Chains A and B, each alone.
Chain A
Amino acid sequence: MPSVSRRSALALGLGLPALMTLASCGNGSSGSDGAAAGEPQQGGTLTYLEPQTWTTLYPPAGGFYPNGGLINNLTDRLLYQNPETLALEPWIATALPEVNEDATEYTFTLREGASYSDGTLIDAENVVKNFDLYGIGDPERALTVSEAINNYDHGEVVDATTVKFFFSAPSPGFPQAVSTINSGLLSSATLDRSGEQFGPGNAADLIASGPFVVSAEEIGTQITLAVREDYDWAPASLGHEGRAYLDEIVYLVASESSVRVGTVTSNQAHIARQIDAPDEAQFEADGLVLYAAPTNGVNNSLSFRFRDPALEDIATRQALIAAIDRQAIVDTLFTANYPLATGALGAKALGYVDTSEHYAHDPALAATLLDEAGWVAGADGTRAKDGAPLTLTFNEALPQPRSREVVTLIQEQLAELGIDVQLLPGDQATQDAARAEPGKVQVYHSMVARSDYDVIKSQFSSDNRNALLNGHPDGTVGDEELDALFAQIASTPDEEGRAEASAAAQAHLAEQALILPLFEEPQVYGHVDAVQGFSTESVARPSFYDTWLAG
């Protein structure tokens, strides 16, 4: 008698995989192929899926992708950075700024007639108010300074359409900084709000001048943008003028990767951000399109914290570089959209230098180097020096694609050479707390997206993100020369000088074996082919101004 029930239970169990196989084969049902590009059509509501919910619309804190994806479509900037060429073009400013010799004074002329959605004009007074907040911050209101603006002193209203900004030291990165979402312009009333009032629940009250305005918000799940009919000040190099094509954009949160992918592939939504590498194949089906945008900044890489006793010796760091098989990682975990890194910066990033000769995979060399550095294999296979085992803790880069799997593969590769790799488990807060504390993390996995020469300084300088933990909390700095090289990039007034300084810093990083760049990290979007004219800004945040829906 129970044998019957057992058999039926078994049948039930076996039925499921069969169904799932069916499910995995049955793709491409959305094969309505006729939506070829034609004349852009106006109207329609686009549904866009984000893996996480946004946290604030205060532009300097917009680096988090869900925030930036909104701010980019809600705000205008003084200048526009062309995502193809990375050149700066006029936007709210009618031309590139006039700048003095040592890059400490910038004068912008503003276009007339551009207005915020509450009807107030973008005038000199308002623009100065924007940058006086973004350049200095207001800790009392918990409003932070923009990471992209260095050495800001104050702004001045010259006349109604002319503004002048003053800096306490050269700030050659300023023109690019004003083009990023971190410098999105807001109405004067909005700038008076507190940090809390930029958070969820307030989106519809935030007034900006962009092609879309927030029309509805449900905290934590969705936010709806509506087109601004009278918008007429788009950057000239974009596909059209006037209002955006779409009537509405609905941003929905779908944190589960399989749900995000399935919703688009089954035609229930138009476009999703963060398509994981293993899911890319699903977008090869008819009617679906994959869009991988480069992030043009510091590559997805490992930073070796050289002040930690385990990594003090350059030979040990060189051994790690020789021991880690980057190609195997990219081949196993990623796709062609994740090219193997050839240097600290992405190949299209400003100031990029090829340093790939420093990053050759050579396990035999790695073993020799480890021996030279005094790491001797112990009884359990793990190497040790003076009784201290060669144990390295990696952080888990939660925002980065498949960081856990990357570290797992490295763990396996390094184990063969007697190096014990541990992954620091924990959520974002745990990771952030451990990141800045000496001795907790020896190898730091991360990347930064920003298309300016300054990006490398942002990532490695001890007064910025301090990825190498060159600066300790006690105020000491391990490699002063390195910090000086980064400071050079941010303070040399002319373009060539900055490129040279950046090249010098990259050479130092490579020669001292301080980092191992893994791959160029893209932002991967997947959409149905009814979505036309979709593009991204210079660090791959979605721009919906030119986007339209076919059919």
Chain B
Amino acid sequence: MAYVRRRIGGALLVLVLAFIAAYILLAALPGDAVLARYGNPDLGLTAAQLAEIRAAYGADRPQLVQFFETAGSFLRGDLGYSIQSGAAVSALLAEALPSTLTLAALGLVSAVALAVAIAITATHPGLRGHRAARALRNLLRGLPPLMVSLPVFWIGIVLIQVFSFQLGLVPVLNAGPIESLILPVATLAIPIAAPLAQVLIRSIDEVLAQPFVSVARARGATNTWLLSRTVARNAVLPALTMAGLLFGELVGGAVVTEAVFGRMGVGQLTAQAVAARDTPVLLAVVVISTVVFVLINLVVDLLYPVLDARLRRSDAAAPTRRAAVAVR
């Protein structure tokens, strides 16, 4: 229980730190939300009219006063209104969050599936023998770096051009809920799968190079058995760390996909709010993403000891030896 309490304390600390850091960062940017909205030449307001509006928003008060007021209303659960559009921040999030979470979750699942498929095929010992097989192996190993060497927006635009506009397979805008997810999920999954596959391949290689594997193989263990039992279990740890990290990135980083596919999501919301210096929206995004991040990490951390026996310090037996013993 002490562990859980410490974890929650840590999480709250992170939340407070992130909130303060984000507020300072946003306050330091040139221009503010009121200016961004009402200083736009399209409105043709005079300097005096602008000053009146600023006073109405309280944007002319000292930063510290504004900070405590904002922090206070957040504590009361009041996220406030977007200054740019006047929409309630909670309404904006209610619209953006489910869309992004769906996209991110599907993207991550597809990415993991893709990464595992690539990694297992690329490290499959069966691919060491034949010349063509080895070529395939090298091609697969070259795939992850290739996948991250294409900008996401470019992948998205090309996927749309080819699959939607030219081949007419999937509509982009104005499509059903499932159809409209196909290309965005693919766009998101490709670059996310790459680092995962990379880490998986490295880890599997490392494990395969360890002595117990040859011992196991010498004793007649099949490749599939080896992969699923020992290798995968050892390799999944760093991959899981990566995945935990990446999900947070996905939530905020879906911006490009959302921009290309005209989806409303947290990423898009963030990018627009930064351009508009829309502090209430941005602080809410920071709070939400911190909560999501803390939760995901809690899950990953709790799974750590389960997955890596080496962390169970009470267990004296080293994993290498145990694995070797297990083979017998």
Q: Which residues of A pack against B, CB within 8 Å?
A: 1-2, 4-5, 8-9, 16, 19-20, 22-23, 26, 47, 49, 53, 55-56, 60-61, 63-64, 137, 139-142, 144-145, 147, 194-202, 218-221, 250, 252-256, 258-259, 262-263, 265-266, 268-269, 399, 427-430, 432-433, 435-436, 446, 448, 458, 463-465, 473
Contact = CB atoms under 8 A, between A and B. Distances in A.
Interface string B162-193: 10111010011110000000000000000000
Contact of B85 (A55, A269, A429): A55
B305 interface: no
Contact of B166 (A26, A55, A142): A26
A424 to B, nearest CB: 12
A196 B88 contact: yes
B49 A137 contact: yes
Interface in B66-122: 81-82, 84-88, 91-92, 95-96
Contacts of B52: 139
A5 B135 contact: yes
A196 B81 contact: yes
Nearest to B153: A256
B143 to A, nearest CB: 9
A47 B31 contact: no
A196 B87 contact: yes
B277 A429 contact: yes
Main secondary structure of the interface of A (DSSP, over half): mixed
A200 B165 contact: no
Contacts of B46: 463-464
Contact of B160 (A64, A141, A259, A427): A259
Contact of A269 (B41, B139, B174, B269): B174
Contacts of B153: 256
Given A1-B135, A256-B260, A269-B173, A9 B142 contact: yes
Contacts, number: 194
A492 to B, nearest CB: 20
Contacts of B160: 258-259, 262
30 contacts: A4-B135, A5-B135, A20-B161, A49-B173, A140-B56, A195-B86, A196-B86, A197-B86, A199-B81, A199-B85, A199-B86, A219-B92, A220-B96, A221-B264, A253-B262, A258-B157, A258-B160, A259-B173, A262-B165, A266-B164, A427-B274, A428-B276, A429-B30, A432-B40, A432-B41, A433-B35, A436-B39, A436-B47, A463-B46, A464-B46
Nearest to A58: B86
B39 A432 contact: yes
B25 interface: no
A23 B39 contact: no
Interface of B: 29-31, 35-47, 49, 52-53, 55-57, 81-82, 84-88, 91-92, 95-96, 131-132, 134-135, 138-139, 142, 146, 153, 157-158, 160-162, 164-166, 168, 171-174, 259-264, 268-269, 272, 274-277
A421 to B, nearest CB: 22
A436 B30 CA distance: 13
A254 B158 CA distance: 16
Nearest to B30: A433
A54 B45 CA distance: 19
Contacts of A268: 164-165, 171-174
A8 B139 contact: yes
A262 B264 contact: no
Nearest to B263: A221
A142 B57 contact: yes
B29 to A, nearest CB: 8
Contacts of A263: 165, 172-174
B168 A139 contact: no
Given A2-B138, A5-B135, A142-B53, A219 B91 contact: yes
B151 to A, nearest CB: 13
A199 B87 contact: yes
Most buried by A among B44, B47, B81: B44
Contact of A435 (B41, B44, B57, B277): B41
Contact of A1 (B40, B55, B56, B134): B134
Nearest to A147: B44
Contacts of A448: 41
Given A220-B268, A252-B173, A429-B30, A23 B161 contact: yes
Contacts of B157: 256, 258-259
Contacts of A23: 161-162, 165-166
A145 B44 CA distance: 9
